[in-house]
Structures are given as C-alpha cells and as structure tokens.
Structure 1
Amino acid sequence: MTRLGTPRSRFVMLVLLIGTVGCGGSANAPKAPDQPFKGVTIVAAAIGDPGILPTLTAQRGEWSANRGAEVTIREKPVDPRSEGVDVFLFRGDRLGELVDGGLLADLPEAVTRPPVPREPRQGEESSGDRPADPLQFSDLVPAYRDQVIKYGGVRLGLPYGGSALVLAYHRDAFESETNLAAAKEAGFVLKPPETWEQFDTLAKFFHGRDWAQDGKPRSGVALALGPDPEGVGDATYLARAASLGQHHDQYSFLFDADSMAPRIDSPPFVEALQGLTALKAYGPSAIESFDIKAARRAFGGREAAMLIDRAENVASWGDGKSIGVARLPGSERVFDPSRNQFEPASPPNRPSYLPYGGGWLVGVSAAAKGPKLEAAIDFAKYLIGPDIASRVRADSAFPMLAVRTALLSQGPPDSRASLGVDARQWSDAVLQTLNANRVIPGLRIPDAEGYLADLTKGRAAALQGETTERALQAVASAWAERTKRRGVKRQLWHYRRSLNTLATSLQPPAAP
C-alpha cells in the first residue's frame, strides 16, 4: 500500500495543486477590455427632431463600458454651430447646411475598411484566419454606402437609418373573383401597377366600388395631398416626377446642373402634378387636405384600396387583414431636357426618390481633435454596426428603415405590430426601391427645407384649382429668388456636390 506522506507534506502538495489550478484559471479568464479612450468624454446631440435621441441613449452604455469613454447626450436639439458637440445625428436633407458651415469632419476610406490581417512574426506560422469585421460595411445598401453619406464624393457621415416610399394595398381588393372579372371586362389585369398610368387606372377602378364585398362602396386611393409635416406629400409628388423627369443620361433633377435654373416648372413636373391632382377625384372626402396621418387612417380603416407611404411606417397600416406591398410605379415616357421632349422608356423609367435626403446620418464634428476625434469616430462606427442597427430597427418610437441588406431581408421590424402585412412583399419592395438603377436622395443643398416649403405651397395651390403650370411657375420663381439670396454660384456648387457625379472646386464660391 502506497503511503501519502506526513500530514505536513500532504498540506504542501494541496497548496501547490490549488496554486496550479488557480494559475490556469486566470490564464483562461476573459480578458478585460482595453478601454482605449479611458478618461475621454464626448458629447452627442441631434440636429432637428429630438425624437431620435432615445435610440442613441439606449446604445451608449455598452460602448462606454468597452471603450472607457463617457458619452454625454444633449436632451434638446442643438444649433449645428453649437460648440462642444462631437457627434451629430441629423437628417440627410441637412447635409448641405452642415457642409456650408464647414461643420463636419471628413471620414477617410480607412474608417470603413475591414481590419487588416496581422503579419506573422518571424518564425511564426500564419493562422490563415482573417480578423473579425465588426462594421461589416459591405452589407450596407449601396445607395447609402456610396451616395447618401457622401457629398462631392467625400464621406461626411455614416448611415444610421433610411426612408423609402412604397405602395401598400388591400389584397382582397386585388384578389376577389368579382373584382378580377370586372377588371378583365374593363381590359386590364388586376395587379400592382408598374406605371403611374396603371396606378391611375386602378384608383379609378376601385373608387365607388364595393371592392371588399361587404355592401359598402369605398375609395380607390389614400394620399397625402395636403400640407404634410412628415413630407410624404412632397416626396410622393417628386417620386412621380422623377419617373418622368430623371433621364438616364442626365444627373440633374430639380435644377439645371450648369445654371441652377429650377426645372420644377418644366413639362415632366407639370405632368406629374396634373396626374397627382387628378387623383383627388378617387379618394375619400376631403383628401385634398389629407396629411399622411389622415391618409394612413383612411387606409387602415379600409376606406381606400391603396396607400403611398414611407415603408418604415408599416406598423400604422394594418387592420389585421391581408396587406400587400409593392415598389412605386414608373413611366413609359421620360423627358430629355437636352432635346426638350419626351421619349419612350422601355422598360418603364423607374428611379427611386428617397425622402429626407435619404434618411438619418451620424456625423463627427470638424471641431473634434485628438482623442476626442478618435473616440467620436469610433462611437459613430459603433452606432451603425450590425448589432446596434438591429436594435435601432426594432425601436418603434422612431421608425427608420434599416440600411443593411441582411436586416431588410427579415421583413418589417416588428411583425406583431404589422399584422396582415406580407413580410416578403415588404422586403422585396423596399430592397427593389433601394437597389434601383437610379436612386435620388431628396434635396440636400443649404435651405432644402425652405425650397420644399415653397413646393408645398405650389401643390396646395394646384389642388385648390390653380392651373398646374401657374402653380409651378410660382414655385420656380420662389426657388430662383431663394437661390439668389444665398448666391447662385454657391448654391450651384452645392447642388453639383450633392449629386456626387459632377466636377466642382474643393471649396464653394464666396457667399454674397
């Protein structure tokens, strides 16, 4: 029988054993974060709507714990020229204003590149593994990755959330045997429209018809035709105008890119407003004064068969019944401004117009320097990473579209709040919109909000009986005057820069 030794020797062996196990445990314990920005404090704020701030507040804790820095959030929206702010959240239509003031830091290409594999040390074999890419920048929708966040080809922000228009429709109106037979007799197929002419035909067909087959005649379409704080009315009009007026050989849309002369009173814009104004005959009572909230209520209450809305507001459409979703229509004709005439378009010209200059961006202040600048850029990258993007997508308090293909493919962010909406159709419609051959972010030059306010007045005048030609001539005059006050050459520089395709000087001409 083997003896284990004296009590003292057994005690020494036990201590050595415990020490050995303890050392091994320490080696395998999770490594504490490096906290590269320990002691740094950065300030984040919103420009414009403060409703976006809770989406930011909910995400800062994890970053602070890992990086060692503190994030202070201003509770109220700030003037972009405010001192002491390092990270801005803002809508894309404010980008020109921020560029005009020199308020945003350029974000170099290296910010978005995947980590570079470490070269093996002398005598060390390469593992062959690539380092993790926490940003996964390549998953971002190309329109946001290459266009919305750039101005003159320079990256001035990172994409936080998007916006896109889609067509929602009650599927039973399109699928009932009675309606299918009536449409066939009228000479067309009952399906989501591919052109605006087909859209108009459907609105007329459904209007006054018992399309739900419950004994109640209903309307064809619900639209934001009146003044609309969310801007969906203007965006709907400009989306229709884009299909007629955005020629595939031209980059300019709202203005002449050589002179800054407004194009808003030219034939494609006049025709688009005529078509949109005529639709008031096929909507619920008082549709000419509807904002988008009134249009959503009418659609959700099954008063109208179709609705045009921002896709991110999907939770406000449902009534628990089946709702289909489709990309907006296009046009079989497109205007060539160089020849001053329309020409056929086959397949239909179907560019996508994105409200709000594309959506919401995260920008870094040009005033941030040293460790603050490094921490601010790191925080901005953190906010658009796939994990945080997934959390922000699910925040119903401030609806925004995800701008990552993987997240958009999953359907609406909250299926419980989107009862009855076809998730696959929603994803397809949004992805087709964002991946169109031509994507037009909404106006992003300085005072974009003022230009669109002029447009709202013109649309309202046309809906109240003014001829579309005169209504849009008044808009064009207001735009020309607004441009003159800011300096034609300076605004032209901004417009060309905002298109990301035309040559300009690095700095704008002097303001008047």
Structure 2
Amino acid sequence: LKDQDVYGYLDAPKPWGGFGFYFLGSRATAYAKHPDDKAWLFDADTMKPRVNNPAWVRAIQDVIDALPSEPADQINADPNTTAFQQFLAGTGSMVTWWGDVGSNVKTNDSSVVGDVTGFSILPGSDDVYNAKTGAWDKLASGPNYAPNCAYLGWGVYVMARVDADEKKKKAAWSAAAHLGGKDLSIWTAMYPSGFQPYRNSHFDIPEWVAAGYDEAFITSYLKSESDSYNHPNAAIEPRIPGIFQYY
C-alpha cells in the first residue's frame, strides 16, 4: 500500500440486484429497527413499505455524504468490489459483509489484511426511529444496535418434487444430512463456500485453531457472528413471497 490512498468505510452504492439492498440495510438497521417493534421493512398491519421513512432516508444520506471520502469511483462499486477487490487489498479499513469476508481474509491469496482484521456487530445509533409514533427515540439503555440478519436462505434443501419417489426421497435426505452434518458442514464454514457458521458445533474455537486459524482472530470472528444471530434486536429478513421484488 506504499504511496497508495487508503480509506475508511467502504460503501457499495452500485445496484446489484436484490442483494445490493442488504448493504444499504446494514446502514439502516440501527436507525430503522426499534427494539419495541419487530417490523422494520414493512408495517406489519398494512404491509406498507417503510423504505421511504426518515430512518431509511438518513441511511441513504449517510451513503451520499460518505462518497467524497471513499475511492473515486465508489458509486460504481458493488459488494463484491468492496469485499474482494478493496477490503482484502487493504484499500479500506471497514466493510459490512456476510461472514465470507472472515474466511477470505485468511484463505484468499489476494488478502493482505489477514493479520490485522477484527470483527464486531454493526455499529449502533444514538437514536432510533419509532415508526409507530413518527419520532426519533433515545433509548435509556444507550445506543441502539440492530445486526442485519440478511438473506437467511443459503442452505441445503430437499424439494417436494422427490416425495413421489421413495428411493429419490431417501437419497436426497441422505445427501442433505451428509452435507449439513456436523463434520462436513464446519469445513464449508471454515473455507470460502458461501456458508457461515450456523450450528452450535461450528462455534468450537479449538476446531478452527486446529484448522490453522489464529485463536484471537477466530474468537473475534465467531463472537461477531454469534452476537449478531442472538441479538435481542436483530433485524430479521421476513420470509414472504416476492421479497426480492421489494428489494
């Protein structure tokens, strides 16, 4: 990085299908996910989208305001650019992404940040928008945190189309059990595969150390994942038909 510009936070403003919305969501959750309201994308009673409410507008404005302090062509950066071309190369000091970044900083040949990367849940906000009252609230407990549990659908599935054939059904479930089982699934979480830790057994730090990960690094990584999954105010993506049409 000698004689090269370095930056702070790396936004992903370029449209990237439905997935790009998640990265704006990570800017918005601390503003939009009130601890007294499980909904943050839609009004739960009317299904009216909340994407144009003051919380989301503030998140969008944050992105716009930060662009002058980011790389020159950041407006055309999609999430793959921010994670795998910029962050791994040391161009920026902070990126929000799925856990793939955590394994890639140690296993990707292009990474120069493997020894200097740490992890945490998403940043919090001093106030949070209350969609029910239309006001901004300052919580007595302090800043509002709301990890963005985005895209809860990457997995191993057995489809109903095999139900009519008992042999195919048995084979499909056997394959799913093998791929999602304790021993093989931790391997897919440790190495770049699109899977993050999702079983309790995946959070066994000695297993990761035995695979070659530094203990301090992997402790930070797994804690950020666990704290995000188990946070009482996590922003959960709704399982509803057509969600990507909304994004």
Q: Give the C-alpha shift of residue 311 in structure 1.
A: 1.3
**Rg comparison, structure with higher value:** 1
Deviations 1:374-425 (A, max 9, x none): 66555544443212322433453x3310201331343869966x79992221
SS at match of 2:127: strand
What is the root-mean-square deviation in Å for CA atoms of aligned residues? 3.1
Q: Where do residues 194-343 of structure 1 align in structure 2 (5 Å cutoff)?
A: 217-228=5-16, 231=19, 233-296=20-83, 297-317=85-105, 318-319=111-112, 320-343=114-137
Is 1:408–1:430's contact at 8 Å kept on the other side of the alignment?
no
Is 1:330–1:350's contact at 8 Å kept on the other side of the alignment?
yes
Is 2:12–2:79's contact at 8 Å kept on the other side of the alignment?
yes
Q: Which runs of 5+ in 2 are unaligned?
A: 106-110
Is 1:324–1:421's contact at 8 Å kept on the other side of the alignment?
no
SS at match of 2:157: strand
Distance in 1 (CA, whole Å) between partners of 2:115 and 2:88 is 10
Is 2:150–2:236's contact at 8 Å kept on the other side of the alignment?
yes
Partner of 2:196: 401
Deviations 1:320-351 (A, max 9, x none): 54222222112221122221111112332212
Compared CA separation, residues 440 and 365, structure 1 to 2 (3 A): farther
**TM-score, length-normalised on structure 2?**
0.80
Is 2:156–2:180's contact at 8 Å kept on the other side of the alignment?
no
Q: Give the C-alpha shift of residue 289 in structure 1.
A: 0.9
Is 1:246–1:335's contact at 8 Å kept on the other side of the alignment?
yes
Is 2:126–2:142's contact at 8 Å kept on the other side of the alignment?
yes
Is 1:394–1:414's contact at 8 Å kept on the other side of the alignment?
no
Distance in 2 (CA, whole Å) between partners of 1:414 and 1:290 is 36
Deviations 1:31-90 (A, max 9, x none): xxxxxxxxxxxxxxxxxxxxxxxxxxxxxxxxxxxxxxxxxxxxxxxxxxxxxxxxxxxx
Is 1:358–1:442's contact at 8 Å kept on the other side of the alignment?
no
Aligned length, in residue pairs: 237
Letter in 2 for 1:406: S
**TM-score, length-normalised on structure 1?**
0.41
Q: Give the C-alpha shift of residue 313 in structure 1.
A: 3.0
Identical residues among aligned pairs (%): 21
Q: Which runs of 5+ in 1 are unaligned?
A: 1-211, 453-512
Is 2:127–2:144's contact at 8 Å kept on the other side of the alignment?
yes
Distance in 2 (CA, whole Å) between partners of 1:234 and 1:420 is 33
Pick the structure with more strand per residue. Answer: 1
Compared CA separation, residues 428 and 229, structure 1 to 2 (3 A): same
Is 1:255–1:261's contact at 8 Å kept on the other side of the alignment?
yes
SS at match of 1:323: coil
Q: Where do residues 2-81 of structure 1 align in structure 2 (5 Å cutoff)?
A: none
